Structure 1
């Protein structure tokens, strides 16, 4: 294991950044504050320590991952090192694959809208909205 891996504990926002779930530590902190990250099923603060064996539920965009912490790091390393820090649960992998396949077949609502609506579009929206 690299020298940057610590066996004790580290802040959850630092660990998420080191494990490359977020590009910036600020984004990791905001995600934890916003309730997008749960530690063992509970919403926590960014300063909460994470330990080996903890279960994290991480929501990034539309994807939700459930991972088990395998190692602790407080410094960001290569992607290969980051992948050794956690193990994703089989249920999480299956759910992400299922969601990915559903998104492939169904267009996102509003995907056909680009820029400001035209006069014709506004009239259609008004008719649909009942104005």
Structure 2
């Protein structure tokens, strides 16, 4: 089975074309060497996949006949990724900036409410209501 098809079958990539592009860019290695998308995969191969700034390492147990469900993936691969790499994933979640990039258009309702909350004056310095000014 081709490496790009295998990675798609075991759900490391959402589409096969994304898996193919990852192989072409050199993000996929078998036994330490970069591979082309057409490289065949065999049982006991150790695959290293760089995805989202994390180096995942997997060992092939068997080849699936086609794309498998998420619950059945463990029958075909063993995840041997070091814990340090998985801890980097948690750090990346915390280090990301706000969920929206600057300059991507108008603020959403949630953004506007957050901005209003940020600039809201404390209750002690609250301006008098319209009714209060009418009484003066």
Using the size of structure 1 for normalisation, the TM-score is 0.69
Distance in 2 separating the partners of 1:39 and 1:108 = 34
- What is residue 5 of structure 1 aligned with on the other side? none
Number of residue pairs the alignment of both structures matches: 105
1:94 aligns with 2:83: yes
Q: Is the 8 A contact 2:44 2:61 kept in 1?
A: yes
Mapping 1:52-131, distance limit 5 Å = 52-89=43-80, 92-108=81-97, 113-115=102-104
> Judging changes above 3 Å, is the alpha-carbon distance between structure 1 residues 112 and 31 closer, same or farther for their aligned structure 2 residues?
closer
Flag structure 1 segments of 5+ consecutive residues without an equivalent: 1-9, 117-131
Runs of 4+ residues over 6 Å off in structure 1: none
Higher strand share: 1
Flag structure 2 segments of 5+ consecutive residues without an equivalent: 106-136
Select the structure with the greater relative contact order (CA < 8 A; seq sep ≥ 6).
Answer: 1
- What is residue 38 of structure 1 aligned with on the other side? 29
Q: Is the 8 A contact 2:61 2:75 kept in 1?
A: yes
Q: Compare CA radii of gyration and give the structure with the larger one.
A: 2
Using the size of structure 2 for normalisation, the TM-score is 0.67
Distance in 2 separating the partners of 1:104 and 1:23 = 20
Please give the root-mean-square deviation of Cα atoms over the aligned residues, in Å: 2.3
